[in-house]
């Protein structure tokens, strides 16, 4: 049997991470099995499923690399087929017409009344309930429009879907859908219901917890490969504690029997870490182009910088970058003497008594060094720390803030070497003067 799976979103303008996680699992399953990944746009809600909403969906899928294998199916175009199937069910006695509450005639599907209904879920195992606990349900409304349950099943039949991989909010719907398949004489596909994505409190993850739509993560600077990798791990365990993986590795490893049935916790810190890992793995030339574009956009770039110096800055910045959007703010001090100072860092590291004198003493010590490199600057600060009983840390922090405006960044001694002795000493003295003047 050739695997055929589908992603069947109802586009409304924003694409929730829960929906796109289902798409990722379907895509990985199809690619691993050498099958087909199909797209069905369930656009029967004409007010919300606008051309703009559908375009947003397609753009998100393209950004994440979720390529599909056949021409997309648009559910609204299948309406006549859905209604014909409803008539077939009425004729066979599996459905009946009913006038509900005087609002007009609708078509209702009959659920079994005795025994039990059950199905085997690939992720959750056997799920069953008493037939008496099920209820008949509408499949065509009184306005003549097919209901989701009917349209969903008919489209799956026509698209020859073999496996339905979707969120576990559809567990109850599946009891209904299987009965429709069988009433129409078709064998139901295999089902796999994915665990819910929850927040730190174990509640369903939503907009209240932060970004919840793919577009928001894109705007915040997350890379598509990082978001893809992160979402793939929400409910799937590749084994051997693997986390950062290539797309090919995920395809090779993905199986539904490794999917978890317990809720998947959304850990933003892990996603941020993973984004940084992908940036670190980005080819140097690609990162340099992004770096230059963003520094230019913020007005810091100037063309008289030697290429070797820019390469040195890039080499220091790339390993510490978690978002491309951080780049200008994290490296402005390399390009201008008018770099901003972080207020909290100034208060903590530069405002204590004696810091202006310390900065001037460091400048004097640096100016006397035979060489100005990593080893020499580290030895000088270490010696001064010992002399003052402050240790190396007591020297590193105020010097870093004075020359960069920030309390963290690349290795201090690599940074000092790259900035060069004249700039470093001038900045130390200028920071000391501003502290005395009260302008810092």
pLDDT in tens, 382-424: 999 999 999 999 999 999 999 999 999 999 999 999 999 999 9
Does an H or E element contain 6, and which? strand 4-7
**What does the DSSP 8-state code read for residue 204?**
B
In Å, how far from its chain's centre is CA 51?
24
User: Which comes out higher in pLDDT, residue 303 or 227?
Assistant: 227
pLDDT of residue 411: 95
pLDDT of residue 152: 97
Pairing mode, strands 137-140 and 105-109: antiparallel
Q: Are 64 and 214 in contact (CB under 8 A)?
A: yes
CB count within 10 Å of CB 159 equals 17
The residues near 301 (Cβ < 8 Å, ≥ 6 apart) are 292, 295, 335
Calculate what percentage of the chain has a pLDDT beyond 90: 89
Q: Are 192 and 259 in contact (CB under 8 A)?
A: yes
Query: Whose CA is closest to 8, among 52, 49, 51?
Result: 49
pLDDT in tens, 67-80: 999 999 999 999 99
Across 146-150, 307-311, 357-361, least confident range? 307-311
The C-alpha angle with vertex 38 and arms to 37 and 39, in degrees rounded to 5, equals 135
Q: Answer whether 0.85 is exceeded by the pTM.
A: yes
Residue spans of beta strands (DSSP E) within 279-420: none
pLDDT in tens, 224-260: 999 999 999 999 999 999 999 999 999 999 999 999 9
User: Phi and psi (nearest 5°) for 129?
Assistant: -155, 160
pLDDT of residue 8: 96
pLDDT of residue 100: 76
Q: Which residues pair with 96 in a beta bridge?
A: 108
Question: What radius of gyration do the chain's Cα atoms show?
Answer: 31
CA atoms within 13 A on the CB side of 218: 16
Whole-Å CA distances, 36 to 30, 68, 159: 6, 8, 11
Q: What ranges in 71-202 are assigned the alpha helix state H?
A: 79-91, 148-158, 171-183
Residue 116 structure tokens: 């039990």
pLDDT of residue 269: 95
Q: Is pLDDT at 336 greater than 80 in this prediction? A: yes
pLDDT of residue 287: 95
CA distance 82 to 274: 44
Q: Which residues pair with 264 in a beta bridge?
A: 197
pLDDT of residue 209: 83
Calculate what percentage of the chain has a pLDDT beyond 70: 100
Q: Is pLDDT at 6 greater than 90 in this prediction? A: yes
Please tell me whether residue 304 adopts helix, strand or coil conformation: coil
Helix then strand then coil, in percent of the chain rounded to 5, is: 55, 15, 35
CA distance 161 to 4: 5
Residue with token string 């990944």: 37
By annotation, the residues acting in catalysis are 207
pLDDT of residue 303: 72
Q: What's the rounded mean pLDDT across residues 92-112?
A: 92
pLDDT of residue 178: 97
Q: Is pLDDT at 300 greater than 90 in this prediction? A: no
Whole-Å CA distances, 23 to 15, 20, 67, 205, 231: 11, 5, 10, 18, 10
User: Phi and psi (nearest 5°) for 106?
Assistant: -125, 175
Over the chain, what is the mean pLDDT?
95
pLDDT in tens, 185-228: 999 999 999 999 999 899 989 888 888 899 999 999 999 999 99
Whole-Å CA distances, 220 to 6, 227, 279, 293, 438: 29, 12, 14, 17, 36
CA distance 68 to 260: 25
The pLDDT confidence band at residue 171, using thresholds 50, 70 and 90, is very high
Q: What's the rounded mean pLDDT across residues 112-135?
A: 95
pLDDT of residue 380: 97
Residue 204 structure tokens: 């369903």
CB count within 10 Å of CB 357 equals 12
DSSP of 87-122, one letter per residue?
HHHHHTTSEEEEE-TTS-EEEEEPPP-SSEEEEEET
CA distance 131 to 113: 5
């Amino acid at each position: 049997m050739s695997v055929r799976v589908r992603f069947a979103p109802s586009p409304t303008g924003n694409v929730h991470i829960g929906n796109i996680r289902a798409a990722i699992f379907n895509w990985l399953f199809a690619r691993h099995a050498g099958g087909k990944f199909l797209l069905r746009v369930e656009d029967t809600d004409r007010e919300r499923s606008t051309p703009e909403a559908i375009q947003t969906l397609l753009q998100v899928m393209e950004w994440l690399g979720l390529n599909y294998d056949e021409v997309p199916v648009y559910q609204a175009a299948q309406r006549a087929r859905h209604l014909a199937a409803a008539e077939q069910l009425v004729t066979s006695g599996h459905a009946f017409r009913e006038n509900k509450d005087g609002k007009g005639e609708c078509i209702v599907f009959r659920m079994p009344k005795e025994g039990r209904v059950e199905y085997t879920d690939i992720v959750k195992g056997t799920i069953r309930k008493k037939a008496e606990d099920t209820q008949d349900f509408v499949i065509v409304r009184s306005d003549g429009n097919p209901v989701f349950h009917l349209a969903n099943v008919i489209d799956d039949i026509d698209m020859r879907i073999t496996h339905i991989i979707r969120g576990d909010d559809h567990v109850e719907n599946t009891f209904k859908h299987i009965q429709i398949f069988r009433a129409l004489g078709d064998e139901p596909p295999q089902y796999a219901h994915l665990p819910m994505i929850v927040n730190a409190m174990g509640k369903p993850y939503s907009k209240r917890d932060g970004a919840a739509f793919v577009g928001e993560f894109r705007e915040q600077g997350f890379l598509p490969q990082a978001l893809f990798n992160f979402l793939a791990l929400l409910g799937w365990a590749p084994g051997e504690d693997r986390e950062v993986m290539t797309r090919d590795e995920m395809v090779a490893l993905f199986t539904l029997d490794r999917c978890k049935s317990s809720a998947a916790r959304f850990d933003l810190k892990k996603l941020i870490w993973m984004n940084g890992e992908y940036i670190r793995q980005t080819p140097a030339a690609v990162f340099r182009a992004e770096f230059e574009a963003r520094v230019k956009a913020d007005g810091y770039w100037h063309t008289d910088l030697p290429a070797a110096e820019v390469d040195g800055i890039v080499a220091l910045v790339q390993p510490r970058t978690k978002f491309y959007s951080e780049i200008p703010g994290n490296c402005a001090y390399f390009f201008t003497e008018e770099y901003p100072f972080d207020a909290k860092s100034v208060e903590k590291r530069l405002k204590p008594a004696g810091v202006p004198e310390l900065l001037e003493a460091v400048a004097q010590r640096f100016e006397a060094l035979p060489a100005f490199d990593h080893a020499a600057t580290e030895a000088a600060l270490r010696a001064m720390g010992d002399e003052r009983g402050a240790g190396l840390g007591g020297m590193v922090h105020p010097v870093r803030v004075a020359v960069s405006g920030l309390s963290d960044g690349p290795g201090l001694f690599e940074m000092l070497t790259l900035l060069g002795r004249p700039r470093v000493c001038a900045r130390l003295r200028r920071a000391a003067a501003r502290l005395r003047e009260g302008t810092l």
